[in-house]
Every structure is written in structure tokens, then in C-alpha cells.
């Protein structure tokens, strides 16, 4: 029987892992295409766009992070990274490049299915109305122009951002309705940038809220999740 659910591309150079993940996803109603590497994925995507890509970062040959970068530059397809490395750097860089989630290998397949469904729900639900020209994301009273690293209002007036402010806003744009911890946001704000440390992430968020919230004292678009971090609500609470 042919599955008619969301189409998932599974990219892994290990045949046994690739087949196991593919079989499990098919059992749960997904249509699946198996790819043994970046070249195979590109050939498949030249013919058809999947609904989501499950990508092993640690394949030989082409760097998995380069694949994430190319995917996000060419399309808006959601990506879940699988990584066997213990390093947080690859995970952080992958998320900054636009990957939607990650799991450590070997992963619990039930959790992978849950993550896939969660990412698919977010990607179909979060489709904010954006102007056709350029890449922009609505933040409260402003639009974030990804290409120019600026905020602009409805009248087209632009407002410059510091490096860390832009990186934080882009992280929220890439992960709407998802709680991001202060530790993750500090990494996103670029540890090499001394400005990110001068008065901590909470002050950066306060500064951003003054720029985008209709009422910065009662924020609706970047909300505090007590004890956990912050979350971007595209439509406000």
C-alpha cells in the first residue's frame, strides 16, 4: 500500500540505519525516500520537494552543515538533524543555519516521529504574511529584513540593529513558538562578540522589546517562559 502522508527524505550513509528509520516512518503513515548522501538528496529534490528532511550530519564526504546551508538557501523545507557527535557546536551552528530540530544518534524512533510531527505542525501553522520582495519576518510593530539586518516599520522607515540583536531576532524567527533557553541564546548572540556579555541576554531582550512591542512593559511577541527562557509568538498571545 502506498502511503499518502507527508513525504520524508531520510539522508544517512549507513544502509541499516537508513532502512530502519525508513521502515519505521512508513509504519506510521509517512511516504519515505531514502538517500545515501547529499548528492542523492539533490537528485531527488530536483524532481520533487519533500515535506521534511531527516539529515545525518556525520556522513563522509560533504559536510552535513553545508547541506543544511544549501537546503535553507534554496528552499523552506524543514530539516531535522541527526548527530552522533557530543559537541554542542555542530548542533548550535545547524540551528543557526536554519535547521528546525535535532536528535542525538542513536535516537528513539518514537521520539523521532514525535519531532517530525511537531516540526510539520509548526511549518504549516507558522506561515506569516510577508512581503514578496526580500526575506522578512513580522515582529510586533516591525518587520525584520533578514538580508539587510534591519528592522523596518509599515512606512518603510528602517532601524539598524546591533549584531547580537539581529542574531537573537533571527533565532526567534527560525524557531517560532519554541522556548529558547538563555544559554542557547547567549551562544546564538555570538560568544566572540564582547557586546553580548556586557549586561547579559535579559537586557538584550529588553532592548529588542522596546523596538518591536506595542507595549514593551507587557510583551506579547517575545514572551518570558519562567525558568526556561524566551519564546517568539508571531501572532502575539
Give the residue numbers spanning the domain of 216: 136-232
Segment 193-209 mean pLDDT: 69
Looking at the structure, do residues 115 and 151 belong to the same domain, yes or no?
no
> Of 101-105, 194-198, 225-229, which gets the smallest average pLDDT?
194-198
Looking at the structure, do residues 102 and 169 belong to the same domain, yes or no?
no
Phi and psi at 55, nearest 5°, equal: -120, 120
Mark which of 67, 98, 124 sits at the end of a domain. Answer: 124
Q: Measured between alpha carbons, how far is 94 from 99 in angstroms, rounded to an integer?
A: 6
**pLDDT-derived band at 237, boundaries 50, 70, 90:** low
3-state secondary structure the chain: CCCCCCEEEEECCCHHHHHHHHHHHHHCCCEEEEECCHHHHHHHHHHCCCCEEEEECCCCCCCHHHHHHHHHHHCCCCEEEEECCCCHHHHHHHHHCCCCEEEECCCCHHHHHHHHHHHHHHHHHCCCCCCCCCCEEEECCEEEECCCCEEECCCCCEEECCHHHHHHHHHHHHCCCCCECHHHHHHHCCCCCHHHHCCHHHHHHHHHHHHHCCCCCCCCCEEEECCCEEEECCCCC
pLDDT greater than 60 at residue 231: yes
**pLDDT-derived band at 193, boundaries 50, 70, 90:** very low
Q: Is there a domain that residue 151 lies in?
A: yes
pLDDT tens-place string over residues 98-133: 888 888 888 889 999 998 988 888 765 444 434 334
Mark which of 124, 144, 161 sits at the end of a domain. Answer: 124
Higher pLDDT residue, 26 or 119? 26
pLDDT greater than 90 at residue 34: yes
Q: Is there a domain that residue 129 lies in?
A: no
Q: Measured between alpha carbons, how far is 232 from 219 in angstroms, rounded to an integer?
A: 10
Looking at the structure, do residues 120 and 143 belong to the same domain, yes or no?
no
Q: Is there a domain that residue 237 lies in?
A: no
Looking at the structure, do residues 159 and 64 belong to the same domain, yes or no?
no
Looking at the structure, do residues 119 and 142 belong to the same domain, yes or no?
no
Q: Quote the pLDDT of residue 112.
A: 93
pTM of the model: 0.54
Looking at the structure, do residues 113 and 22 belong to the same domain, yes or no?
yes
Q: Is there a domain that residue 180 lies in?
A: yes
Segment 16-30 mean pLDDT: 93
Looking at the structure, do residues 92 and 182 belong to the same domain, yes or no?
no
Q: Quote the pLDDT of residue 200.
A: 67
Looking at the structure, do residues 11 and 110 belong to the same domain, yes or no?
yes
Looking at the structure, do residues 119 and 23 belong to the same domain, yes or no?
yes
List the CATH number of the domain containing 14. Answer: 3.40.50.2300
Segment 36-52 mean pLDDT: 90
**pLDDT-derived band at 190, boundaries 50, 70, 90:** low
List the CATH number of the domain containing 199. Answer: 1.10.10.10
Q: Is there a domain that residue 130 lies in?
A: no
Q: Measured between alpha carbons, how far is 158 from 150 in angstroms, rounded to an integer?
A: 6
pLDDT tens-place string over residues 145-171: 888 888 998 888 888 888 888 889 988
pLDDT tens-place string over residues 172-184: 988 888 888 877 7
Which candidate, 70, 75, 58, 54, places its Cα nearest to that of 10? 54
**pLDDT-derived band at 4, boundaries 50, 70, 90:** low
Instruction: Give me the residue label for grid cell 543555519.
Output: 97
Amino acid at each position: 500500500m502506498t502511503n499518502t502522508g507527508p513525504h520524508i527524505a531520510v539522508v544517512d550513509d549507513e544502509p541499516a540505519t537508513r532502512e530502519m528509520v525508513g521502515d519505521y516512518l512508513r509504519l506510521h503513515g509517512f511516504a519515505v525516500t531514502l538517500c545515501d548522501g547529499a548528492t542523492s538528496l539533490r537528485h531527488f529534490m530536483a524532481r520533487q520537494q519533500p515535506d521534511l528532511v531527516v539529515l545525518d550530519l556525520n556522513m563522509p564526504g560533504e559536510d552535513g552543515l553545508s547541506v543544511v546551508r544549501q537546503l535553507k538557501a534554496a528552499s523552506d523545507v524543514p530539516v531535522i538533524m541527526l548527530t552522533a557527535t557530543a559537541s554542542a557546536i555542530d548542533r548550535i551552528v545547524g540551528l543557526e543555519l536554519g535547521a528546525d530540530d535535532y536528535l542525538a544518534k542513536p535516537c528513539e524512533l518514537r521520539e523521532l516521529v514525535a519531532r517530525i510531527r511537531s516540526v510539520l505542525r509548526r511549518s504549516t501553522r507558522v506561515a506569516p504574511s510577508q512581503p514578496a520582495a526580500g526575506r522578512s519576518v513580522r515582529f510586533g510593530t516591525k518587520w525584520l529584513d533578514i538580508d539587510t539586518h534591519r528592522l523596518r516599520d509599515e512606512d518603510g522607515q528602517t532601524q539598524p540593529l546591533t549584531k547580537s540583536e539581529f542574531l537573537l531576532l533571527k533565532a526567534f524567527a527560525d524557531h517560532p513558538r519554541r522556548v529558547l533557553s538563555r544559554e542557547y541564546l547567549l551562544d546564538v548572540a555570538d560568544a566572540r562578540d564582547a557586546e553580548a556579555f556586557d549586561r547579559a541576554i535579559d537586557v538584550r531582550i529588553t532592548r529588542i522589546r522596546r523596538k518591536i512591542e506595542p507595549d514593551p512593559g507587557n510583551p506579547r511577541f517575545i514572551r518570558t517562559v519562567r525558568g526556561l527562557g524566551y519564546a517568539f509568538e508571531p501572532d502575539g498571545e
